[in-house]
Chain A
Amino acid sequence: AQSVAQPEDQVNVAEGNPLTVKCTYSVSGNPYLFWYVQYPNRGLQFLLKYITGDNLVKGSYGFEAEFNKSQTSFHLKKPSALVSDSALYFCAVRDPSNTPLVFGKGTRLSVIA
């Protein structure tokens, strides 16, 4: 069965600095990988996905993520953090054999001015 690990409960970064939110996964086949963001009192919003192709995926709001098959990782990155990026970030993985999307427990990103 597939699983996702987000090793950090909380990430703090200063505004303007680069940010990384970590995610590792486990699936039996080639993974479909996603990042979602949750702002307070809102549902999860899709940020980006990796299905196939280039390992570096670009998404909404200047975020990108790098798929690393050997390390089974899909870390979320942004070159310059904004205070408005402060939110809860979820990594998710799906096994292509039609199993449901499985989420990590989330990482709270706090960007400090």
Chain B
Amino acid sequence: EPEVTQTPSHQVTQMGQEVILRCVPISNHLYFYWYRQILGQKVEFLVSFYNNEISEKSEIFDDQFSVERPDGSNFTLKIRSTKLEDSAMYFCASSVGLSSYNSPLHFGNGTRLTVT
């Protein structure tokens, strides 16, 4: 069964540094998402992406965050200047269609980001 793959599985960075989290969504999927989960807390929506542009974003997704689909297969999340509170598990997801209708989200295994 096709899977969403995320790399790296664990990323440690110093505060203020830029990080790029990478995802390869399922190949025939059209919608892409980033969620994050701070340890012990809710899974929070960050951003959705369709047709090479952001379709929706949350309050968390401020100017420090950006997403890109540079080559038709990868889907990246960039944090320009990391803060301690960015430490979390970041999940990429994709779906064939919008997540409400016969197209559940397929999640990757996540990247654990630790900011020191």
Contact = CB atoms under 8 A, between A and B. Distances in A.
Contact of B58 (A49, A94, A100): A100
A90 interface: yes
Contacts of B44: 103
B66 interface: no
A105 B44 CA distance: 9
A31 to B, nearest CB: 10
Interface residues of B, number: 26
A99 B55 CA distance: 10
Q: How large is the interface on A (under 10, 10 to 19, 20 to 34, 35 or more residues)?
A: 20 to 34
A104 B45 CA distance: 11
A41 interface: yes
Q: Which 4 pairs between the two chains have the least Cβ-Cβ distance?
A: A43-B107, A103-B43, A46-B104, A44-B107
